[in-house]
Structure 1
């Protein structure tokens, strides 16, 4: 069996976004964030910010918020925020709607 191809910066940035989203969902649902998620996030940030290899720092990954937080920012109910999610750049991650933090 051959080894998988190495990960590039795009792959690592996507992994960083996924771990950030995973942590945010845990935090919003008041569940403890596994220590492994914190370690993985720290490692990915370290690699992507140029600490490994002397490359230029990459832009920050997008931050995501839940429908409850989006509704608070918009001054509406979470249900309405979910109804207009696609117009706001939101998408469903499993059973949870997430929105860009800059809405």
Structure 2
């Protein structure tokens, strides 16, 4: 059976200021005066991020995002839907910082595991 089809890219029309990068990064979120809560960053851009958190967030609250290897970044919770929250950075990430965050971690190659007999 042959299907005649054509692929096309749908333009982003959701009003975003920056292109999102889909990720799965462990991080931490902290409100001023609160303890740190573990989160998973689901997508990130130079303008903000979406995360999955077990701790409730409140729209409009100021939070700090911490991911391994980077200083905590001040953000504001823009929306909350169930366990997901969308946050906007107070100052945009530099594009090189974004690339460093989303870059896959280098794999450690163990030498000498496979030996010839």
Comparing both structures, which one devotes a greater share of its residues to helix? 1
Query: Which of structures 1 and 2 has the bigger CA Rg?
Result: 2
Q: TM-score, normalised to structure 2's length? A: 0.27
